[in-house]
Structure 1
């Protein structure tokens, strides 16, 4: 008899209709998995039929929507001992999308760095946040492409040295998650500072904002790493003897699983909620202030004027929220993940989450008249330096 999954994987053993194959003591399978053995006594083989939320030879691993990694999405899509040309369409298109994201992110990150490396762009703390965010965006797309090709190469070549697999497992995914969370919170810091500057008006202290920004940029990586301690401790390799592969997985109890879900939602939802509400607060508050001082226009006209004048704030916040909403929606609709049933759904949500980092120049610089002027000035300065080098 063969037990097949919807992912077209099977476990087979000889069937005798007179016998019961359910284990007497279900101590082998975890998390409610059904234990089956080839014979009642002195069995040679044993297997577990897992519930939808779990996988592994003993149903010991849990797949959660909000914490999807590239390993989870491509685990059963990559064919071992095969070249890229022989891989499935999912793998080929994933490689194409990642290369495109990498090129776009690299260009956007470099152009953004040119803008915020200019001292005039860093007269307040938001310029410092955005300069670091430009560097982080380049690191994110770089780690993404390294992660993809590492997974592809190691899954297609099962004889890779185990120490290399362990280093990749312990380093690549935590670093990628660290950079993504840092990007989210840096954008949030920009939104918070802009809201504070509107609240304080002429009393806003630029020097103090720069000092706070430097402290935040130094402390933020350690705070995020502290919230990810569980991942650094519980991430390890798992030998799947049935599939004859080695997976990178997280091993933790259900109580820790709840904590990880809360942390991941916190890093995902809170930054962009603050970003959006801060932009709305800036526009509404300025409109109220000007309505009180100028009686020529009513509140509605002032509100429309402020939306037009500060469109770079609301545009960047709305674009960020829209780009991250698909992955958030997918994580809410699917408490358990069977990514190989809907690979395009989960991959599209996963790749969309990298768009804010890849399009940082488009999101923050192009909508702003001031930042566009700084960009033009940076290009002129760069061109003059190049001409001087050529003359020498």
Structure 2
């Protein structure tokens, strides 16, 4: 019987080198998969406990090699039934320090049995389609991941190049100075402002300063030029209009940053509102 497979998508921010995964289902293996079938064996759980905490460090020796790297071309072209009986050999070559390897059908991990080192293989689908069973909310060609094929509780998107956001809704393929393109990659979803990156905190502080100065300037200008005698002159009317424009622009700038921050932190998730 093939093992049940569940998937969770995690992103390691640039400024971090670790991540935390909370998992409520029983498991035996933890595999980390990067793009292009790049697998790492993170942990093997031989006994089941009701609640436990695992700490592990993924090393280069945990990388799962393709059989093309372990055997010659003639061997790889053999039928699976003929070649699989030799799959113990890579595990027994201690110079390789191999944790796992895979072919087109199976994924194998090495384990110790008494004084031998053997391979345990199981069927593994390397070409899964991640579209959340046709209910994908990801945009711009993003892949949709669910934590379980049945009764999923969490959905995440992995974006194509030049797209980002919780639903891959933002694009950076055009040059520009918008807040989305400049700060979008620095926001971390499901994390409050206090624990966001330094770039987000500095940007937030600067924007608060700019908004404060903008409001003070706009309000004082409005008070100074909101006078009938001054407005009788074209220059006075222009300055009054400029003060009102400053207040409106400052307000829109603050709203833009607030919406971007809340959307990236997944506090605002209404798709219709975000498309406005």
Same fold (TM over 0.5): no
Structure having the higher helix fraction is 1
**Which TM-score applies when normalising by structure 1?**
0.29
Structure having the higher strand fraction is 2
